[in-house]
Structure 1
Amino acid sequence: GLNAALFYENKDPRTFVSLVPTSAHSGDGIGNLIGLLVELSQTLLARSLAQCNELRAQVMEVKALPGMGTTIDVILINGTLKEGDTIIVPGGVKILGKDLEKTLAGLPLLVAHADDEIPVLRDQLVQELKLLDQLVQELKLLDQLVQELKQTLSSFKLEDKGVYVQASTLGSLEALLEFLRSSKVPYSGINIGPVHKKDVMKASAMLDHDPQYAVVLAFDVKVERDSQEMADSLGVRVFSAEIIYHLFDAFTKYREEYKKAKQDEYKNIAVFPVKLRILPQFIFNSRDPIVMGVTVEAGVLHQGTPLCVPGKAFVDIGVVTSIEMNHKTVDSAKKGQEICIKIEAIPGEAPKMFGRHFEATDFLVSKITRASIDALKNWFRDEMQKSDWQLIMELKNTFEII
């Protein structure tokens, strides 16, 4: 066996083999491993490092200096450059000091020790130039593809409020967007490739507009570790899957849970629109609590609905605490149904009385506000019918709500 110790605890590298913990998943420890290799190379292996006398150099810059003419800045990688050496540089230079302005920065500088080496070295530089030209063409093609991709991405219609969509390829992105469009899920941002921190930052913009859409849908792409950490700290949800339906199901479940939480939060603010006609033959108790029969003329009546009388200066008569239909307690009543309701006084206010504060000829309506209308729009829209919204518009005019 081998004597081993963790590298940061190893005080005698000659006796104990240093162990460096690494992670192939996150990349942790790779920097420590490289650092240890460099340290050992410069200490224990310093005398064993191979050296070569053959000159290798790199041209970095071509410039003109006052009093010296055209010069080139060169990095010596190996060997020694001596006065009198013949150098070969891209541009056809044969003699030191002449035609240096034709030199191309970034290409190798070669030294010819004999005349018969010059054609060989020249051919070598020609090959370098060909490779460089090929690289330039490939970079131009890559830039063209990037521009085409940006143009394609910009052609997708984005919403002001929506999720952020990330996919592995353009084809998979188009498939996911089409699926979201048919499922009526809006999207405000799109991208291709792994989820980076910049993508999370873009998705976090929804936190200030509509937090339910502060979501990244990552389809068949990697979510970087630092990106996930940033998402967790900002409050952005990241859903990742390799199948569209799995991704959509995860988002749908989250959206339903979010909506349910918001409905619980706003249930005491949301007031459904309703208009009631009093049945004078069914007045069972005229005061504290008021118990009477009514017909739902429009809208839906829910338990907890505050009622007022527009015909009597919008007097508040109380809150519906019980609804009975055919001698059975129900949670709500719809248009056309005849029901018996119990109305209790609003806490802190004097109880109102039938016959004094309102009459049988008066209509009772739910007392809506701007806040209650917004709550219905945002979190209870699915429970509203077209006729309910028409009643909302009527009551808005009645209450003069802007």
Structure 2
Amino acid sequence: MRGTSVTKLEPGELTQHIGASFIPKKVIEDLSKDLLQKMKVSIEIPGLLFIDTPGHAAFISMREKGCNVADLAILVVDINEGFQEQTHESLKIIKEYRIPFVVAATKIDRIAGWKDQKTTSFLESISRQSEEVVDELDKKIYTIVSYLAEYNFDSERFDRVTDFTKQIAIVPVSSITKEGIAELLAILSGLSQRFLKEKIKCSGKAKGIILEVKEVKGLGLTLDVILYDGKLSREDYLIIGGKEPVVTKVKALLLPRPMQEIRVEKKFINVNEVVAAIGVKVVAQNLEKAIAGMPIRATKDEKEIPKLIEEVKIEKYVDFEKDPNGVIIKADTVGSLEALVKLLKEAEIPIRKADIGNINREDFIEGELIQDKYRKVILAFNIKVDEQIINEAKNFGLRIFSSNVIYRIIDEYKKWVEEEKRKEIEIKLQALPRPVRLRVIPGAIFRSSKPAIFGVDVLEGTLKSGVILRREGKIVGRVREIQSEGRTIDKAVKGERVAISVDEAVVGKNVFENDILVSELGKVEIEKLMELFEYLRDDEKKLLLELKES
């Protein structure tokens, strides 16, 4: 949209702030002119503010205060690659917070055989594509449809949707050729003015939300804010939400130059006031406790401050059931923390502490109190974790899992738990004799006694050195060593043929060719093996039950 609009607009008509782009009514009408005429639709809304933030930072729902920035969402899916890790993450958040959305199926220009038709209309372009390209596009569209169905969403290509209140519209687009941009803007505008009329009325009260807290050279800490209602002016009292709300004064309001992005802009335009909906950089003092995701309010009347403080005061960042033996989680924003809490709840992973900001000594002290060794971890989402922090955590017996992808943190943690439990099981199994049934191989007697050495077939179970063998209820002796092809080995399993040395055994006296030998297991050993029953092989399970009953 930016690329299409740059050559058509007067400087400044398309404003872009903090990863946010305001597309005014005129631009929408220009880009979707032919389509709007065919649909006999007129644009009534003043425009659309697109908030472009990483992951799910804009989909923040503060339950206690009902603050939700996103009125509509666009789920961007590469039509050729399908759903990715971030797609699932975003979709779960969209579903959880019940945000109306459309799907932008991007990169249609990369479909084999696709030809750029030099139009912003998908419908016009697809009518000129070959039959093979149309078929391939439909296949890819219905792959997306099937993915959405897994989340119980009924979806269809936008021009086949019969009821926009019940079906999710999938709009094929290309950011390179701009095909589909007309339909995407038209559908978003139509959904907005049909279903969000009441929400888009401006109340006059300045309300916003912090997207980012940034250190800017020469300015100190600044806030990148989305103002979604009312008017914000210099010298207004600014009330910043949190557990301990901050009251300060707006010292400056900064907008990037026309057509410049605030994240890379170095020269700003100083303005006296801004009106919703807009993204703006706010300069003020005492911003050390400001947190991305927190609501903000503003007023000129000092008497309103106590009331506004109560509006934005947060008792706790997220609701969760505290478990003394749960994990500790840290995230960069309230939205991130909420998402992490929900995903951990779904994974049935208990939480001891959930907080915003970098990992600190308090977290280490808290983590040291966790009794469950598999929960002595800190799951850190999108925050800085360096070697010093990792090493300090180790001193408290803690492990840190960090990533900028929520699912990756949880997956890595779960894999670690599985691996640690597997190692623990292996250690327990290594310390125990295992059930085994052997057959002495005829003609494979290498030494008759002190110790006796002979070949055996492992019929069932696992043969380990140290196990006591019995024949027909009587003790034969203890296995001193196991060899295979001249090499000493720790164990042999069903189907293997090995040589063993057995103390106390005397060939021809208490052991003979073709004898069946079984392991001698005590009551305590059998009980311990029964505790690990699910980790034994099927042949071991069968033999263990047999030995238990004997």
TM-score bracket for the superposition, by shorter chain length: 0.3 to 0.5
With normalisation by structure 2, the TM-score equals: 0.35
CA radius of gyration, larger in: 1
With normalisation by structure 1, the TM-score equals: 0.45
Q: Which has more helix, going by share of residues?
A: 1
Q: Which has more strand, going by share of residues?
A: 2
